[in-house]
């Protein structure tokens, strides 16, 4: 049905109806511009929509100091600070199992710096592993677009090597040996649960 | 050992040494001033320290609009807004199982308003239950200091009753019948996992 505004201008719907909320950039053939976080979020949305898993990114922790309450509109946070997270960024549920992971990327070509992780994140994943949860990290070498799933016990081995005076990074070759390369797909982008299933279930 | 400052004043330690960080208000015999959230956080810290479970509150989701970066000091968020959470507030891992819950309190005496929950939280807990996770709510009647664990399937029953035109709250009597009263203790304050163990494990 067409109808016209009183000014004679034809009504045009602002955007075509969509079956589900898909960001247009996800449809582009190339993904060079997307961050690891966006790729993982898109993947988790896919898992959720397909009833494969319930995995969410935790919100960024923020220390709120000052909030204003303007009349008739939403509360505005006027002063806040970023807090260091005490856990990993992602957790959830897959086939009855608790899944917990952190995702990091580097522009290095030959190694992955361990400074990307914090002591308390390592402690957290240790506790998760001890309680029979599934803990791992997703490591992306952004210049070559390679993503690896490294199970937490392997990460811990390299972390402990650093703590006892060894190198402060993991060689790419070591990641290739002890991690599992994840194929980058279209939908979902990073099907990491396929690897989780093979490794842990 | 006693010693004196140069001014002759005797040194008094500011506070007695403590074995672990315990907020002084937790030691008071009454807990009227503590919120449900504080009680649950204290309980979760206890579970974590005792290697009983790994359960955390998710950070409050915030949409960050403007951040300043003053030289030599931390980034300051100058404009941000509260976002509605898409999941529940608490999740984690207990004896290999994924645990997910929301905690709410009311000053009502005879019923618990269902407006405390959002549609997407209900959908989230439905998905968790379908994936073999453990989902429930903790409901506190703050004036009488009573806390109940209500398993998600029972909450869903009352939610669906509301959606089909029925009452917009759960009668306290219904919560007493279908929920499980949680004894309030000293340390931990709210030992809800004892009930989870009986009900789900």
- pLDDT tens track for A5-15: 455 455 444 44
pLDDT at A20 over 70: no
- Taking every pair of Cα atoms in chain B, the longest distance, rounded to a whole number of angstroms, is 77
pLDDT at A3 over 90: no
Domain annotation covers residue B71: no
Pairwise pLDDT comparison (B28 vs B200), residue with the higher score: B200
- The pLDDT of residue B28 is 39
Supply φ then ψ for residue A121, to 5 degrees.
-70, -40
Domain annotation covers residue B14: no
Domain annotation covers residue B34: no
- The pLDDT of residue A27 is 38
CA distance B61 to chain A (A): 5
pLDDT at A102 over 90: yes
For residue B125, the domain's CATH number is 3.40.1350.10
Domain that holds residue A168: 24-200
Pairwise pLDDT comparison (A171 vs B85), residue with the higher score: A171
**How far is C-alpha A76 from the chain's CA centre?**
27
Domain annotation covers residue B173: yes
CA distance A32 to chain B (A): 25
- The pLDDT of residue A192 is 98
B91 touches chain A (CB under 8 A): yes
* Mean pLDDT for all residues in chain A: 87
Q: Establish whether B121 is an annotated binding residue.
A: yes
Using CB atoms, pick whichever of B76, B79, B82 lies closest to residue A81: B76
Domain annotation covers residue B55: yes
A–B interface: beta-carbon pairs under 8 A: 112
User: What average pLDDT does this structure show over A51-59?
Assistant: 96
A201 touches chain B (CB under 8 A): no
Which residue on chain B is closest to A84 by alpha carbon?
Answer: B59
A64 touches chain B (CB under 8 A): yes
Which residue on chain B is closest to A82 by alpha carbon?
Answer: B75
**How far is C-alpha B112 from the chain's CA centre?**
17
- The pLDDT of residue A201 is 86
Which tokens in the block code for residue B118? 């959002």
pLDDT at B143 over 80: yes
HSE (CB half, 13 Å, CA atoms) of A180?
A: 17
Domain annotation covers residue A6: no
- The pLDDT of residue A86 is 87
Range among A1-15, A111-125, B5-19, B20-34 with highest mean pLDDT value: A111-125
- pLDDT-based confidence at B33, cuts 50/70/90? low
Domain annotation covers residue A67: yes
Lowest mean pLDDT among A73-77, B104-108, B168-172: A73-77
Q: How many structural domains is chain B composed of?
A: 1
Best mutation target among B80, B123, B197 (most A Cβ atoms within 10 Å) is B80
Best mutation target among B55, B93, B196, B200 (most A Cβ atoms within 10 Å) is B93
Question: Which residues lie across from A182 on neighbouring strands?
Answer: A147
pLDDT at B75 over 70: yes
Using CB atoms, pick whichever of B78, B82, B130 lies closest to residue A75: B82
User: What average pLDDT does this structure show over A176-186?
Assistant: 95
pLDDT at B87 over 70: yes
Could you give the CA distance from residue B100 to residue B87 in angstroms, rounded to a whole number? 9
- pLDDT-based confidence at B65, cuts 50/70/90? very high
Lowest mean pLDDT among A117-126, B10-19, B145-154: B10-19
b/e string for B168-187 if b means 16 or more Cβ within 10 A?
Answer: ebbebebbeebbbebeeeee
Least Cα distance to B151 among B169, B175, B168, B127 occurs for B175
Write the burial class of residue B79 (CB in 10 Å: 0-12 exposed, 13-18 middle, 19+ buried): middle
Domain annotation covers residue A11: no
């Amino acid at each position: 049905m067409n109808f016209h505004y009183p000014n004679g201008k034809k009504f045009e719907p602002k955007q075509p109806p969509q079956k589900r909320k898909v960001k247009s950039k996800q449809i582009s053939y190339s993904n060079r511009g997307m961050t690891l976080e966006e790729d993982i979020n898109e993947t988790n949305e896919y898992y959720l929509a397909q009833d494969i898993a319930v995995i969410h990114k935790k919100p960024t922790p923020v220390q709120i100091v000052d909030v204003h309450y303007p009349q008739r509109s939403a509360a505005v946070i006027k002063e806040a600070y970023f807090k260091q997270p005490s856990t990993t960024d992602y957790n959830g549920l897959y086939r009855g199992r608790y899944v917990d992971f952190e995702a990091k990327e580097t522009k290095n070509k030959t190694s992955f710096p361990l400074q990307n992780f914090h002591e308390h994140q390592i402690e957290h994943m240790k506790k998760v592993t001890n309680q029979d949860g599934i803990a791992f990290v997703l490591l992306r070498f952004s210049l070559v677009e390679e993503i690896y799933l490294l199970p937490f016990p392997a990460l811990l081995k390299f972390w402990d090597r650093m703590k006892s005076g060894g190198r402060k990074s993991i060689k790419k070759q070591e990641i290739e040996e002890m991690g599992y390369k994840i194929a980058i797909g279209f939908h979902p982008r990073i099907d990491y649960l396929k690897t989780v299933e093979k490794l842990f279930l």
